[in-house]
Amino acid sequence: MFSGKLLEKLSSATAVVVLTGAGTSAESGVPTFRGNEGLWKKFKPDELADFDAFIKNPDLVWEWYAYRKKLIADVRPNPAHYALAEMEKLFQEFAVITQNIDNLHRRAGSARVYELHGNIERNYCIKCGRWYRNDELTLATSAPRCVDCQGLIRPDVVWFGELLPAEQWELADRASRNADVFFSIGTSAIVYPAASLPLRAKESGAYIVEINAETTPLSDIAHESLIGKAGEILPRLVDVLRKQRTDENQK
C-alpha cells in the first residue's frame, strides 16, 4: 500500500504538513460539500456560504448553520483524526492545515492546527465584532442579534469571496513551503487559495501525497495518489511509521 519511496521520504523528513478537507470528517458523519452525497446537492452555495446571501436572508442562512452546528456537536473524531494526532508525535515539525470548520482535529488531540475556513463553534457580531460561543446563542431558526448593539451575529466561517484569516493563512503558507512531505487528504482540491498550498509545497521541493476516495485535479500533480478512505489508510500508515521507528532504534 505504501511505496518504498514514501517510507524513505517520511523516514528522513523533519517537517510534515497535512492539508485536510471535508472527506477527512466524512467517516465521522459530517457531510462533504461536493459529490453525490455532498451538501451542495441539496443546498445552493451562493445562497448560503455567501455574505450577501446572509444579509438578504439571515434566517435562512442561520437555519442551515444551526442544523450543521447541532450535527457537528453530536459527532466524534474518526480514526483519520486520531491517526493524524499520533503522527504529530513522530515528527520534529508537524502541522495540520484544515479547511474544515468542525474542530475535530483538536478534539482528537492534534496540537498544531491551522484553520483556514474558520470554526463553527465561534460566532461574532458583524457590527461591533463581539464574540459569541454557540452556548451563548439560542440556536433557533432565526438569526441571533448582538446583546450590545443589536447587530446580526454570524458564524466565524469563511464564505466565498471573503479573505482567509490572515495569520492562519500565513502560518499555513510558511509551513507548506517548509514541508519535506505534504499530504492532501479528503479534499476535492478545487477551492482556492487552500488548493494552492500543495502546489507551493511542491515548488519548494516537498514530496506530495494525496489520500482521497477518488481522483482530484491534484492527483496528476502529486508524487503519489492513494485512493481510499482516510480513516482506513491513515491508521495503517501510523502503524508502518511506528514499526519503522522501532526498527531504526534497534539498528
Which sequence positions are flagged as catalytic? 117
- Distance between CA atoms of 107 and 70, rounded to whole angstroms? 16
Output b/e per residue, 176-198; b: 16+ Cβ within 10 A.
bbbbbbbbbbbbbbebeebbebb
- Binding flag, residue 55, Zn ion (CB under 5 A): no
- Binding flag, residue 46, ligand BJW (CB under 6 A): no
Nearer to Zn ion, 77 or 144 (CB): 144
CB of 248 to ligand BJW, least distance (A): 29
Residues between 93 and 122 with contacts to ligand BJW, criterion CB under 6 A: 99, 101, 117
* Residue 129, all three cell numbers: 465584532
- Distance between CA atoms of 192 and 189, rounded to whole angstroms? 8
- Binding flag, residue 60, ligand BJW (CB under 6 A): no
CB of 168 to ligand BJW, least distance (A): 13
Residues between 117 and 136 with contacts to Zn ion, criterion CB under 5 A: 125, 127-128, 130
Nearer to ligand BJW, 161 or 205 (CB): 161
- Binding flag, residue 38, ligand BJW (CB under 6 A): yes
Per-residue CA distances from 97 to 127, 168, 170 (Å): 29, 9, 11
Contacts of 123 (CB under 8 A, 6+ apart): 131, 132, 133, 134, 137, 144, 153, 154, 155, 156
- Distance between CA atoms of 131 and 124, rounded to whole angstroms? 4
Start-end of H helices in the chain: 4-12, 22-26, 45-48, 51-56, 58-73, 79-88, 104-108, 166-178, 197-203, 230-250
Cell 470548520, located at residue: 101
- Distance between CA atoms of 193 and 189, rounded to whole angstroms? 10
Q: Could you tell which of ligand BJW, Zn ion, none binds residue 149, using a CB distance below 5 to 8 A set by kind?
A: Zn ion
Q: Would residue 235 be called left, alpha or beta, if left means φ above 0 and alpha means ψ between -120 and 50 degrees?
A: alpha
- Binding flag, residue 151, Zn ion (CB under 5 A): yes
Q: According to CB under 6 A, which one of 83, 230, 237, 241 is a site residue for ligand BJW?
A: 230
H helix or E strand, kind and range, residue 123: strand 118-125
- Binding flag, residue 22, ligand BJW (CB under 6 A): yes
Residue at shortest CB range from ligand BJW: 23
Q: Could you tell which of ligand BJW, Zn ion, none binds residue 146, using a CB distance below 5 to 8 A set by kind?
A: Zn ion
Q: According to CB under 6 A, which one of 119, 176, 212, 225 is a site residue for ligand BJW?
A: 212
CB of 249 to ligand BJW, least distance (A): 32
Nearer to Zn ion, 67 or 131 (CB): 131
Summarize as ranges the residues that interact with ligand BJW (CB under 6 A): 21-23, 26-27, 32-35, 38, 49, 99, 101, 117, 157-163, 186-188, 190-193, 212-214, 216, 229-231
Name the residues that contact Zn ion, by CB under 5 A: 125, 127-128, 130, 146, 148-149, 151
